Copies of this chain bind each other. A is one copy, B any other.
Amino acid sequence: MTGGAVNMKTYNVGLIGGGFMGKAHSLAYAGMPMFFWPAPAIPVRHTFCDVTEELARSGAERYGFAHYTTDWREIVDNPEIDIVDISTPNNLHCEIAVAAAKAGKHIMCEKPIATTTEDALRMVNAVKKAGVKNQLAFNYRRVPAVVLAKKFIDEGAIGDIVTYRGSYMAGGDTTSPMGWRQKKDIAGYGTLGDIGTHALDLARYLCGEISSVNAMLKTFVPKRPLFPGSADLHDVENDDEVSVSMKFKSGAIGSLQASGNAWGRNNYISFELYGTKGAILFRYDRRDELQVFFSSDEADRQGFRTISTGGPVHPYGNGLWPIDGIGIGYGELKIIECYDFIKSIAEDTPSVPDFYQGYVICRICDAIAESSETGEWVDTDYTE
């Protein structure tokens, strides 16, 4: 029996934040080399940071980190750390990211990029100046079926896109308690920032630049309890319902809805996309499938093909499970995201989507909010 010598390049990761995303990212770091082998490099779970000593200590044990701290600056300042992973609430992204960039760390940051467009721009400038890799966790564009959709679009198999209908529906429970996502200073936008940004990222990924928007932002549930069942109601400070009409630079049009009021829908991300030669349908609860219609098919054999995307010919197919239909979940999705990030560092290629893309989404969110106020169509000007 032999001790396992590590022969591959490794990157030490400092992860900040032990919530839903801390868990997801930890799994990704652990699992990535198991799937994508030989790995471009192996991420090593070095230091974990959470807000209390107890959370930090137990989090390190839970998530498999060798060290822990309650001060994120210890991570940023540690020369052993190669990657800073920001899985905190939105309002902390900017300060941490700017500091990490200055310290020369590569950065994986959860979405949305920041609570304000100004902060987003500061982050963009910081990473540009530092020349570090920076990736924003719009993970849904990495679902193999979504990547396959992009491939068909890029191949021209669907023709020119005419119409796009996107949605991200969730929630419904008007009595569910306040969280930090309902507070403007911590979250920025509400449903728009949380899930609407994912939907916008998908729309841009597939259809290209959005040139103008007309939108409605609503807060249908203006007060929520602090705790489940509590009679003590607090003001919700941001939107819970988003409806957007879009014009793309290409000439295509689209609509997009993000809802925090959709009973029965659970993380329901969907798009329909119609082009001059075909059409594509996707829904995340059928994440191992893409439905594609090719008008070039013979007349008696035309129909949406439900393509199972788990096989080796499909995006990431050589890294994921070896048998089609075995199925991926959120864990595998975050593993894919981690793989692409680590690869972009190891191979010194651009991380996608980067902070700049997150900043553009911020600009679009602002345009959406402005349109909701004025009723006007608002151009989405991306110039810095």
User: Chain A: residues with CB nearer than 8 A to chain B?
Assistant: 1-8, 20, 23-24, 26-27, 30-31, 33-35, 37-39, 42, 47-48, 57-58, 60-69, 74, 78, 148, 151, 162-163, 165, 167, 169-170, 172-174, 214, 216, 218, 220, 241, 243, 245, 247, 253-255, 257, 259, 261-268, 272, 274-279, 281, 284-295, 297, 299-308, 310-311, 313-314, 321-332, 335, 375-377
Contacts and interface: CB of A to CB of B under 8 A. Distances in A.
Contact of A4 (B27, B60, B172): B60
A64 B67 CA distance: 18
B375 A214 contact: yes
B6 A33 contact: no
A274 B172 contact: yes
A322 B22 CA distance: 12
Contacts of A266: 308, 310-311, 323-325
B163 A165 contact: no
22 contacts: A2-B57, A4-B57, A27-B31, A33-B62, A37-B58, A39-B62, A42-B61, A163-B243, A163-B261, A165-B257, A216-B245, A216-B253, A263-B275, A264-B279, A266-B311, A266-B324, A285-B289, A297-B305, A303-B308, A326-B330, A327-B329, A331-B335
Contacts of A267: 310, 323-327
B307 A61 contact: no
B279 A172 contact: yes
Contact of A323 (B3, B20, B57): B20
A219 B220 CA distance: 35
A314 to B, nearest CB: 7
Contact of A78 (B1, B35, B321): B1
B301 A307 contact: yes
Q: Is the interface of A mostly helix, strand, loop or mixed?
A: mixed
A299 B263 CA distance: 12
Contacts of A262: 163, 274, 279
Contact of A35 (B23, B33, B311, B313): B23
A104 to B, nearest CB: 18
A4 B65 contact: yes
Given A163-B257, A287-B327, A172 B295 contact: yes
B377 A20 contact: no
Contact of A304 (B48, B174, B277, B305): B305
A67 B3 contact: yes
A35 B74 CA distance: 26
Contact of A285 (B57, B288, B375): B288
B263 A278 contact: yes
Nearest 4 pairs of A and B residues by beta carbon: A266-B325, A267-B325, A264-B293, A329-B329
A301 B292 contact: yes
A61 B8 contact: yes
A327 B140 CA distance: 12
A62 B8 CA distance: 10
B295 A30 contact: no
A381 B258 CA distance: 29
A313 to B, nearest CB: 4
Given A214-B214, A216-B253, A375-B376, 15 more contacts: A4-B48, A4-B57, A163-B243, A218-B253, A241-B253, A243-B254, A245-B255, A259-B274, A264-B281, A264-B302, A264-B303, A266-B311, A284-B327, A285-B286, A300-B313
B1 A74 contact: yes
Nearest to A371: B214
A62 B299 CA distance: 29
A158 to B, nearest CB: 8
